[in-house]
Amino acid sequence: TGVSSASQPAEGTGDAPVSVTETYRLRPADPGNVSVQLAYDLSDLEGGSWSERIDHRATVVETDGLSVESGSIVWDKSTNRPTATVHLSVNATDSYGRSKVDVGEWAFFRPYTHYGDTDIDVTRGDQENLTAADGLAYLGPHEVYERSAPNQTIELVRPAAAADMRPNRTVVLDRLAAASADLDVGAVDETVTAFAVPEPIRGGGSAGDRSFWFHADGSWNGEPTYLHEYVHTRQEFDVTRERGESTLWLTEGVAAFEATQLSWRYGQTSYAFYHDRWGGEAVDLTGASGTRQAGYEYGAYVLYGLDRRIREATDGSRSFVDVFRRLNRHDGQITATVLQSLSEDVAGTSLDEYFETYVVGRNDPPVGNQPSLYPFVNTTTIAGRVGPVATDTGVVVVTSTRTTLQTRFLDGDLERLSTLVRFPHTVGVPADDGSWSAEVVERPNDYGLGYVQATVGGEIFPRDDVPDVYVFGSGQTPAELRTDTNTTLPSSASPFSVRVVDTEGDPISNASVAVDVGSDLSIRNQTTARGRFVISERAGLELSGPVRFRTKSSDWFNDLSWQTTQSEVVLDRPRRAQVVHYREDVPETAVHGTVVPTDSVAVGEPVNVTVLASADRESVGERRTVSLTVDGDLRAETEFEVTGIRDSWTMEVRFDEPGPHNVGLRSLPSQPVQVVPASDSFDVSVASLPETVQQGETMRVPVTITNTGDVFGHHNATVTVDGNTVTTARVALEAGESETVSLDVPLRESSEHTVAVDGERVGVVDVSATATSTQSTTATSTDDAETDPGETDTSASTASVTPGPTAGAGPGFGGSVTLVALVLAVGTLWTSRRF
């Protein structure tokens, strides 16, 4: 992948810029060192002299047209295109463990750094196995995936050695793109690159301005490292270590708090977890104890309390995100006094007591239970009456994430129950005509209802030794189930039980069932009226939806998104999944089936086939060959190591021809995949434009983009003024989807201007001259003086970055933002932050 860095200074007396192309190679026989060829172009120096200091990690092994003198390479003028080959020592550790490494087959490291005074333009030649961005590089087999957000492109570098990263790349990209859009705090770079790095890199992660890395299989205290490190890339404020005004803790505190809230918002954790997450030793954050480390726990705790105070004071219309945005815009260092002032501006009230008690004082902020303060959740009361059902039927209220429910069951013969309960929650009610109601705290339209019949009266449901299946419709409330009180539930939701039998009709314990479930809570394809299902000798549960289902006939399963909550899963769109029901007495390694999405895929688009397996403990460590077939023909054979009693392996398949195809494993039923031609088309429209604006104002252009094709695709919508491009928005849409983006267009000259989108004229705007005073706003962002805790291969250098909006410009819009940067050394642009 070709990568071009910002200009770096190199030592010498010439005034003309120098260019260098870097080519990186692994050295498997010498792990810890990579080979770098430096090919310089000095043809513009016109006879001047030139030299640069050698990166202290490098050993020069070969030169042509250069000599090595006192730690520098010096041009001998024998050729205008001199070269040098160096061996770069890349292994590095920080206070928490190994942060850079070369294992021979791959390397994750900081690229070669050029030091000196002459401007130098650095490029890296097209290298299939190299991706570098903003002071980080990965060399070895890997893939780069992209996801578009409204004002940013997210790149994910997934090494082959991290192919089984958890959560998978789709989930990570989805959540990073959502965070990019939801964090309205400015400081949005056009592209941010995330590296998912496997062992032996330490757990946690680290972030710079436009890139970050995170461990491919880890989180901290339930907080996803990739969200934590991404929040760091959106920080553009400058903290201080001044005693009594210290805000060193704010860097990590903001990242920890926002990442945890985003994790809850996107369903990875529950409100209960979010509510109980906060803690840590109470310290004086403004004094000597207010270190960066204090931000992870107590500092984030204080920001959680501050966020709640702001939401309460503004009836939920503002939050700490509004403070975060002001921190980024502030001109100068953020002191504790400045933080309080900005927070009070947002809250519209004094926060003296809060800051004195919790920021300066050593006290734990009060934690309330008010999920209704958060606009991205929905508190809905759903109610109904239990109709004539079988004896000892249970009413089940369940949500798609591990959330907190406030549940009340009302019945004349049953004591009123009002209690805060944790998921999963099931309460048995009598067979009489009892009423119930439940207040569900969850994201909008993300709950479901259903019944299950037990075999033993009076027990709390579900029971592990009863192979019952609970089915709860789609994420939307079923049409028959209104939120009115005393609504009779639909007959399709009446109690049912599933008895699992083998082909001879004998019961099977802890096995699985094959059943199609409709979104209206109905069950299809029953083999008998009594709900008995005949299964094959292989385990597996196949569902087509969208549905939400649970089963407690076993303790584990795997779903398409890898988000496993014991034995519950949400299928958010029609798919076919096979669920492995683990049994302790499996005598040997057994491959049960595959997980293959049935959505239409385009020609050449990868389909990940997940192979599900189980084994006894004695089989762990064995290797198993899996044969993947397409349309009955062998496509690939891959050997996997059995790593646990519940295991899964991933294989990838692509299709060259459109049409229906069947994917499966030998000796197991195949699953259909519909392959369509890779084509998309887009329609772009603008609702309206103002007829006149004042000179110097920014006009907002609402652009609606619709994917009128039949497959997923990307589109760049370009806005021009008088034929000149001023801004572009990139969107990613499924077939039939639409999205409206608002693009800010600065209009600085008084006259009539013709506005066009994608070359089509959408209107003429009259810009009227007006007398305005000149205003200059500059936001300065530099790293605090504290370095990353002890990475051993850092070098002394300085950097200054001065980004900020021009007068009248809004944050996050490239067309109206001027960025002036003087980069003295690439290494110092990198702000290493540990999660």
Q: 158 falls in which pLDDT band (50, 70, 90)? A: very high
The pLDDT, as a whole number, for residue 268 is 67
**Residue 813 clears pLDDT 60, i.e. is over it:** no
pLDDT value of position 141: 96
Contact 555, 582 (CB under 8 A): yes
Q: For 113-122, 468-477, 784-793, which range has the lowest pLDDT when averaged over its residues?
A: 468-477
In a domain, 714, yes or no: yes
Query: H helices within 711-830, ranges in order?
Result: 826-829
User: pLDDT band for position 626 (50/70/90)?
Assistant: confident
Confidence bin at 278 (pLDDT 50/70/90)? confident
Structure tokens at 184: 């309205």
Of the two residues 700 and 462, the one the predictor is more confident about is 700
Q: What are phi and psi of 655, to 5 degrees?
A: -120, 135
**Which range has the worst mean pLDDT, 175-179, 277-281, 515-519?**
515-519
Task: State which H helix or E strand residue 149 sits in.
Answer: strand 142-149
Q: Is 731 helix (H, G, I), strand (E, B) or coil?
A: strand
* Predicted TM-score of the model (pTM): 0.51
Tell me how far CA of residue 55 lies from CA of 62, 110, 123, 608, 800, in angstroms. Answer: 15, 11, 17, 42, 21
The share of the chain scoring above pLDDT 90, in percent, equals 30
Q: pLDDT tens for residues 556-570? A: 222 222 222 222 333
Cβ contacts of 724 within 8 Å, gap of 6 or more: none
CA distance 34 to 386: 70
Q: Answer positive or negative: Cα dihedral of 69, 132, 193, 803.
A: positive
Give me the mean pLDDT over the 453-473 stretch: 28
Average pLDDT, integer, range 704-721 = 82
b/e per residue, 313-347, with b = 16+ CB within 10 A?
A: bbeeebbbbbbbbbbbbbeebbbbebbbebbbebb
Residue 492 counted as domain residue: yes
CB 811 within 8 A of CB 187: yes
708/659 same-domain check: no
To 10 degrees, what angle do helices 169-182 and 248-265 make? 110
pLDDT tier for residue 117 given thresholds of 50, 70 and 90: confident
44 to 14, 15, 17, 503: CA distances (angstroms): 9, 9, 7, 82
Domain boundary among 721, 750, 768: 768
Three-state DSSP at 183 gives: coil
pLDDT at position 46 over 80: no
pLDDT at 212: 97
Q: Do both 672 and 689 map to the same domain?
A: no
Q: Is residue 127 domain-resident?
A: no
**Looking at the structure, do residues 627 and 747 belong to the same domain, yes or no?**
no
Highest average pLDDT, of 276-290, 668-682, 711-725, comes from 711-725
Question: Which two tokens mark 640?
Answer: 């996997």
Tens of pLDDT, residues 668-705 = 556 677 787 766 688 888 888 888 888 878 888 899 99
What's the confidence (pLDDT) of residue 296? 87
CATH of the domain at 706: 2.60.40.10
Give a yes or no: residue 115 inside a domain: no
Bigger pLDDT: 799 vs 321:
321
Q: Which of 333, 300, 349 is nearest to 341 (CA)?
A: 349
Q: Which helix (H) or strand (E) holds 262?
A: helix 248-265
Q: For residues 727 and 712, give the distance between their C-alpha atoms in angstroms, rounded to a whole number.
A: 23
Q: Are 225 and 215 in contact (CB under 8 A)?
A: yes
Nearby residues of 363 by Cβ (< 8 Å), 6 or more positions away: 282, 357
Asked if the structure places residue 218 within a domain, the reply is no
pLDDT for residue 650 = 78
Residue range 137-146: mean pLDDT, rounded: 96
Residue 75 has pLDDT above 90, yes or no: yes
On whether both 519 and 611 belong to a single domain, the answer is yes
Is the bond into 444 cis (omega within 30 degrees of 0)? no
- 14-23, 420-429, 697-706: least confident range: 420-429
Report the DSSP beta bridge partners of residue 630: 633, 663
Measured distance CA(126)–CA(46) in Å, rounded: 29
Looking at per-residue pLDDT, the higher value among 642 and 467 belongs to: 642
pLDDT at 226 over 70: yes
Q: Look up tokens 């760091």; give the residue.
A: 232
How many angstroms separate the CA atoms of 793 and 33, rounded?
13
Q: Which amino acid is at 204?
A: G
Please name the residues in contact with 595: beta carbons below 8 A apart, sequence gap of 6 or more.
Answer: 558, 559, 560, 577, 578, 609, 610, 612
| Preceding amide of 31 cis, omega within 30 | no
pLDDT at 289 (0 to 100): 66
pLDDT digits (tens, 9 = 90+) for 23-42: 999 999 999 999 999 999 99
Over residues 588-619, the pLDDT tens digits come to: 444 544 455 545 677 777 777 766 665 656 66
Could you give the CA distance from residue 32 to residue 22 in angstroms, rounded to a whole number?
18
Helix, strand or coil, per DSSP, at residue 324: helix
Q: 768, 788, 822 — which closes off a domain?
A: 768
Judge if 554 and 659 occupy the same domain.
yes
Q: Are 7 and 120 in contact (CB under 8 A)?
A: yes
Phi first, then psi: give them for residue 366, nearest 5 degrees.
-65, 140
Q: Which pLDDT does position 710 carry in this prediction?
A: 62
Give the pLDDT mean for 144-157.
Answer: 94
Which amino acid, one-letter code, is at 95?
Answer: S
What pLDDT is attached to residue 376? 63
User: Domain span at residue 500?
Assistant: 462-676
Residues 670 and 730 in one domain: no
**Average pLDDT of span 147-152:** 92
| Predicted local confidence at residue 297, as pLDDT | 87
Selection from 153, 159, 341 nearest residue 732 by Cα: 153
Domain-embedded: residue 611: yes
Question: Beta strand pairing status for 532-534 and 499-501?
Answer: parallel
Whether residue 441 is predicted with pLDDT greater than 50 in this model: the reply is no
pLDDT band at 338 (very low <50, low <70, confident <90, very high): very high
User: What pLDDT, on a 0 to 100 scale, did the predictor assign at position 804?
Assistant: 34
Crossing angle of helices 298-313 and 336-347, in 10° steps, is 30
Q: Is 435 among the domain residues?
A: no
Specify the pLDDT at position 613.
63
- Same domain, yes or no: 533 and 608: yes
- Is 757 found in the same domain as 669? no
Residue 70, number of CB atoms within 10 A of its CB: 8
> Which pLDDT does position 276 carry in this prediction?
67
CB 33, CB 162: distance < 8 Å: no
At 565 the pLDDT is 27
- Taking 50 as the threshold, does the pLDDT of residue 65 lie above it? yes
Query: Which segment, 352-361, 395-404, 437-446, 450-459, is predicted with the most confidence on average?
Result: 352-361
> Which segment, 225-234, 395-404, 429-438, 786-795, is predicted with the most confidence on average?
225-234
Residues 662 and 695 in one domain: no
pLDDT of residue 481 exceeding 80: no
Structure tokens of 657? Answer: 């021809």
Quick check: 189 pLDDT over 80? yes
124 found inside a domain: no
Under the banding of pLDDT at 50, 70 and 90, the label for residue 811 is: very low
Residue 611 sits in the same domain as residue 757:
no
What's the N-to-C CA distance of the chain in angstroms? Answer: 28
541-to-500, 511, 579, 580 alpha-carbon distances in Å: 12, 9, 5, 7
Assign 618 to helix, strand or coil: helix
- If asked whether residues 630 and 516 sit together in one domain, one would say yes
Which residue has better confidence, 176 or 393?
176
Which range, of 258-272, 361-375, 475-489, averages the lowest pLDDT? 475-489
Asked whether residue 726 carries a pLDDT value surpassing 80, the answer given is: yes
Pick from 92, 81, 49, 64: nearest CA to 213 = 92
Choice between 686 and 458, residue whose per-residue pLDDT is larger: 686
Helix axes 320-329, 248-265, angle to 10 degrees: 140
CB 48, CB 153: distance < 8 Å: no
Nearest-CA neighbor of 741 among 721, 767, 719, 763? 719
Quote the CA–CA distance of 787 and 789 in Å, as a whole number: 6
Average pLDDT score, the chain: 67
d(Cα 290, Cα 251) in Å, to the nearest integer? Answer: 11
- Tokens 């008998």 correspond to what residue? 528
Cα–Cα distance measured from residue 343 to residue 479, given in angstroms and rounded to the nearest whole number: 44
Residue-level pLDDT at 13: 36
Res 834 pLDDT > 50: no
Q: In the chain, pLDDT over 70 holds for what percent of residues? A: 57
* Average pLDDT of span 819-833: 31
Structurally, the chain folds into a number of domains equal to: 2
Are residues 527 and 648 both part of a single domain? yes
What is the pLDDT at residue 612?
Answer: 61
Does the pLDDT value for residue 625 go beyond 90? Answer: no
- In the block, residue with structure tokens 């918002």: 265
Amino acid letter, residue 699: M
Rg (CA), the chain: 30
Mark which of 752, 768, 784 sits at the end of a domain.
Answer: 768
Token pair 């129950």 is at which residue?
417
**Higher model confidence: residue 744 or residue 136?**
136
